[in-house]
Structure 1
Amino acid sequence: MSTSILARRAGLMALSLAAITAPAAAQQPAPAGPGLTMEQAVAAARENNPDMQATRNDAVASRAAVRAARADFLPSANASAGFGYTASGVQRFGSEVFGERPEYYSSNWNVGLSYDLSGAKLLQPRIARAQEQATTTRIAGYEANLEMQVRQQYLTALQAGEVAAQAQREVERTREHERLANAKLEVGSGTPLDVRRAQVERGRAEATLVQQQNTYETELLRLGLLMGVDLPQGTPLSSRFELFEPRWTADDLVRMALENNPNLLTARANTTAAQTQVRAARSAYLPSLSFQVGMTGSVYSAGDINPLVQQQLSGMQGAYASCNENNALRAAVGLSTTNCAVFDTSDPAVQDAVRRQVEAGNPNFPFGYERQPLQASMSISLPLFDGLSRERRIQEARVAESDARLAVTAQEQRLRSDVRGGLLSLQTAYRTAALQREVAANAAEELRMARERFRLGAATSLEVTDAQTRLAEAERAVIDAVYTYHKSLAALEALVSRSLR
């Protein structure tokens, strides 16, 4: 054998050994930024998710309803004040004319207390507390559902990252095969067809890698949307999970779910609230009491007292004439006379006295109030017939209660079925993952043997590419099986509302 042939074969063997011993996966640069764990993602979603925050706002309204129901047992107090104006003019009442009246300014105030008591008011605090409890459990259920969505999406993104890493390993394997095919072509033991076939496989692997990297970034965006934050591109997910054989019994898991599942607790709280609504509807047959007490004050002041003075003087003129006539009669019969000077309106002193009297009787505006006597009243009302409206409301409340009870029953049945089915899915996923790992190990050994045969010239490049394809499919099947297990476990944890890891 010539020296040149030996040299070429030695070079080919060196290249082949270098290709076989090359690392299976390229080392990718670590993404910038700290890693994100699943618990950190869940905590961020609880804090920042807009829908979660909007749901929590319902608790504020329910607590306010409880406080208002309790405060409704206190009496209601009110105070009011008013001001008025009446222009001057002739006052008429129907066909009666009362003469010229001056302009008037008026003001008034009122202070009162009222208290109402009924059967509905007595039950309102209980209704409000039941509704608050229903709201609290509903918020807890929404939070549990959000947590499950975040965990599932975290696992989906983590799975996409694993698939992208597998695609990167596949690219490196195809590149190694391409280098080996080129090396064999250079030493004369290979063919251009082997090189082209290797290049085709490498191109397919690179296209798959680009698609899987895009899928990973898309799943990260969806995770950030659930968290209510913007995740930086390439954020690493640092949580890792191990497979373990599920050893729980279905009965134990069902018991935990019936005790802790937030959706079931919400349905039970709705039933309690519906029962309270039935009692509230029945309270319409009870009597109601009403108490009122109040004080008022008012002022009615003339803007111009001259018309009032003139009216007073006109009346005194008639009294002056009558007094003089009476004195003449008394003098004729020898009786003593009275002093008519006090009615003489021509006397300025009398005019001044009348003006002072009118001024004193005209209250000051706006605060010259005259308080009215205290007023108090009590009434009792007993509903007799309202066109069967009470009966309709009671029946509606009973139907709502029955619907709530049936919803609890349906939720319990669904929960039992979901828990048992979830456990079966988890057990199946565990066994599938173990089998897929065996398949992947055999596929890796097949690829190693195919490469060795190709290096020695005992196999074509087609055998190598077929082995690479089968290994890639087996690795993706392992990833799918493993994450199907973890997702099934997360779904089961959501049903029983506790950690099972």
Structure 2
Amino acid sequence: MRRTGKIIIRMGLLLTTWSVVAAQAPGDRAGRPLIPLTLKQAVDMALAPDGNIRLRLAADAVQIAESRASQARSGLLPNFDATLVQQNLTRNLAALGIGFSVPLLGSMFPDVVGPFNVFDARTTGSQTVFDLSAIRRFGAARSGVDTAESEEQSAQDIVAGEVTRHYLTAWQARSRVETVRASVDLATALLDLAEDQKRAGTGTGIEVTRARVQLANERQRLLVAQNQYRAAELRLLKAIGLKLTDRVEITELFTHEPVNIDLNQAVAKALETRADLKAQRQREQTARLSHSAVKWERLPSLVAFGDYGTIGSAIDSAVPTRTYGVMMRLPIFDGGRRDARRAEARIQMDQERTKTADLEAQIEMELRIAFDNLESADEQIRVSAEGVELAQGELAQARRRYQAGVTTSLEVTDAQTRLERAQDNQIAAMFNFQVAKTDLALAMGLSREAVK
């Protein structure tokens, strides 16, 4: 019976430490070193230049927008070209209507002249003096840069929220692994106790069989939990931008810290800080400027031009020549193309205005859902904590009754199952609470600040 006493002591220790989550990750494979990882570190890695792929694409989009703005600006800046020409040519004057005779000499002017040489070194330039349409196009392109920058900030907020969710999912999966592992240890202890009691003549074979079935079930649950944890770990690694062969150790300790903020304040803050809303407002501004650019194409434009160079039959005989002037271009009729483009631009402007209003309503909806989820998660944490406390008490009583021989192991197994369910509920409640906080921060545009 000495061994039985040791097993009972072991069961007691397991019960008192049931809710403790171990720091070691399950099943360290192939001796790979674990990377300790807090939530802030995970988000910082994802937001690094070589982190999440979405951020790299967003940064590329900013550069593309800046290039387009430079192209639009070039229409307002001077343009210069230099040419150097050396040519030998002939000309058919008759083809140009030039042909006459000299009566006094009785000869005809030749139809074909040449060959002769022409050397021309010249610089030409032009400068837009006034073109309101080009000015509006440049403004639309600059607004596109602001849009891309806001979209990059929005991508950072989204990535921070996604990484937080993946981290929480990995934490939840790891916690379940440790909970199930504790259940396996307890089921092993119950099997040892049942076998000792049978050998001592105080137990039956059905008790041993029942304990073995329970142990097999717990081992099955452990395998499933470990696989779920590995899948969650892989998703976290991909979101961070690490190699999928790396291993991480979830070190964050999540606690229940109520959020004190009013819904109206949250809505006002979100409408001020949400990067995606800023980007949408910039898209609306871009559409408005594009519509204005098409509309003002009807106005005349003014361009100054000129050239200066030397021309002659050879370099040593070339003489300076120049041209300068001002040209006004006045659109009259283009077959209706301009009117069609203006109508298209007006529709696009109305679409962006509608999208802005819809996004503002979407933000308020997301905030209301986040507040409802927070309120529900608060209550879940309170109820789950009470459930774990009651289930632990039930299991302790069942263990004492089984030890005293007044009940069978079935009562202990049932109590163990209810405790497992209660602990799963507690883990899920904490997960739901942290996810609700993450959703609230994302809805307010504060995902990056929330983890700092």
Q: Which TM-score tier does this pair reach, normalised by the shorter chain? A: 0.7 to 0.9
Correspondent of 1:63 among 62, 66, 69 = 66
Task: Give the partner amino acid of 1:152.
Answer: R
Contact 1:158–1:237 (Cα < 8 Å) also in 2? yes
Task: Give the partner amino acid of 1:17.
Answer: I
Q: How does 1:418-497 map to 2 (within 5 A)?
A: 418-497=366-445
Contact 1:65–1:128 (Cα < 8 Å) also in 2? yes
Correspondent of 2:271 among 238, 249, 258 = 258
Distance of aligned partners of 1:29 and 1:500 in 2 relative to their CA distance in 1, 3 Å threshold: closer
Cα distance in 2 for partners of 1:195, 1:281 equals 86
Q: Name the structure 2 match of 1:135.
A: 148
Q: How does 1:286-325 map to 2 (within 5 A)?
A: 286-298=299-311, 300=313
Q: Name the structure 2 match of 1:380.
A: 328
Distance of aligned partners of 1:40 and 1:28 in 2 relative to their CA distance in 1, 3 Å threshold: closer
Could you tell which deviates more after superposition, 17-26 or 139-148? 17-26
Cα distance in 1 for partners of 2:230, 2:58 equals 29
Cα distance in 1 for partners of 2:10, 2:43 equals 44
Q: How does 1:119-198 map to 2 (within 5 A)?
A: 119-198=132-211
Shift of 1:435: 0.5
Q: How does 1:86-97 map to 2 (within 5 A)?
A: none
Q: How does 1:22-421 map to 2 (within 5 A)?
A: 22-23=13-14, 24=17, 32-47=33-48, 48-84=51-87, 107-116=119-128, 117-230=130-243, 233-298=246-311, 300=313, 363=314, 367-368=315-316, 370-371=318-319, 373-421=321-369
Cα distance in 1 for partners of 2:217, 2:268 equals 51
Contact 2:119–2:318 (Cα < 8 Å) also in 1? no
Shift of 1:296: 4.1
Q: Secondary structure at the match of 1:294?
A: strand
Which has the greater radius of gyration?
1
Cα distance in 2 for partners of 1:400, 1:420 equals 30
Q: Name the structure 2 match of 1:20.
A: 11
| Structure 2 residue runs without a partner (length 5+) | 100-107
Contact 2:54–2:155 (Cα < 8 Å) also in 1? no
Task: Give the partner amino acid of 2:38.
Answer: T
Contact 2:140–2:285 (Cα < 8 Å) also in 1? no
1:433-465 CA deviation, whole Å, 9 max, x = no partner? 210121122112111211221222211122222
Cα distance in 2 for partners of 1:283, 1:92 equals 46
Distance of aligned partners of 1:140 and 1:500 in 2 relative to their CA distance in 1, 3 Å threshold: closer
Shift of 1:70: 4.3
1:182-224 CA deviation, whole Å, 9 max, x = no partner? 1111211111221121112112211221221122122111111
Cα distance in 2 for partners of 1:393, 1:148 equals 40
Shift of 1:297: 3.7
Distance of aligned partners of 1:234 and 1:224 in 2 relative to their CA distance in 1, 3 Å threshold: closer
1:142-175 CA deviation, whole Å, 9 max, x = no partner? 1111111111111111111111111111111111
Shift of 1:29: 5.2
Could you tell which deviates more after superposition, 203-212 or 425-434? 203-212
Task: Give the partner amino acid of 1:465.
Answer: T
Cα distance in 1 for partners of 2:246, 2:198 equals 42
| Structure 1 residue runs without a partner (length 5+) | 1-9, 301-362
Contact 1:81–1:110 (Cα < 8 Å) also in 2? yes
Distance of aligned partners of 1:187 and 1:403 in 2 relative to their CA distance in 1, 3 Å threshold: same
Shift of 1:404: 1.3
Q: Secondary structure at the match of 1:156?
A: helix
Contact 1:108–1:369 (Cα < 8 Å) also in 2? no
Task: Give the partner amino acid of 1:132.
Answer: V
- Superposition TM-score, scaled by structure 1 size: 0.78
Cα distance in 1 for partners of 2:244, 2:157 equals 22
Cα distance in 1 for partners of 2:200, 2:269 equals 69
Cα distance in 2 for partners of 1:74, 1:53 equals 32
Contact 2:24–2:249 (Cα < 8 Å) also in 1? no
Percent of residue pairs bearing the same amino acid type:
22
Cα distance in 2 for partners of 1:81, 1:72 equals 25
Shift of 1:13: 5.8
1:263-288 CA deviation, whole Å, 9 max, x = no partner? 22211111122221222122112101
Task: Give the partner amino acid of 2:40.
Answer: E
Q: Name the structure 2 match of 1:349.
A: none
Contact 2:89–2:116 (Cα < 8 Å) also in 1? yes
Contact 1:15–1:180 (Cα < 8 Å) also in 2? no
Shift of 1:233: 4.5
Distance of aligned partners of 1:289 and 1:28 in 2 relative to their CA distance in 1, 3 Å threshold: closer
Cα distance in 2 for partners of 1:279, 1:155 equals 48
Distance of aligned partners of 1:153 and 1:447 in 2 relative to their CA distance in 1, 3 Å threshold: same
Shift of 1:258: 1.4
Distance of aligned partners of 1:103 and 1:199 in 2 relative to their CA distance in 1, 3 Å threshold: same
Q: Secondary structure at the match of 1:229?
A: coil
Cα distance in 2 for partners of 1:439, 1:100 equals 110
Could you tell which deviates more after superposition, 67-76 or 182-191? 67-76
Cα distance in 1 for partners of 2:359, 2:23 equals 48
Could you tell which deviates more after superposition, 108-117 or 134-143? 108-117
- Superposition TM-score, scaled by structure 2 size: 0.86
Cα distance in 2 for partners of 1:132, 1:377 equals 36
Cα distance in 2 for partners of 1:485, 1:276 equals 44
Cα distance in 1 for partners of 2:59, 2:24 equals 41
Contact 2:58–2:148 (Cα < 8 Å) also in 1? no
1:361-403 CA deviation, whole Å, 9 max, x = no partner? xx4xxx4462352122322121122233333222222222221
Could you tell which deviates more after superposition, 64-73 or 470-479? 64-73
Task: Give the partner amino acid of 1:452.
Answer: R
Q: Name the structure 2 match of 1:312.
A: none
Distance of aligned partners of 1:430 and 1:284 in 2 relative to their CA distance in 1, 3 Å threshold: same
Aligned Cα root-mean-square deviation (Å): 2.8
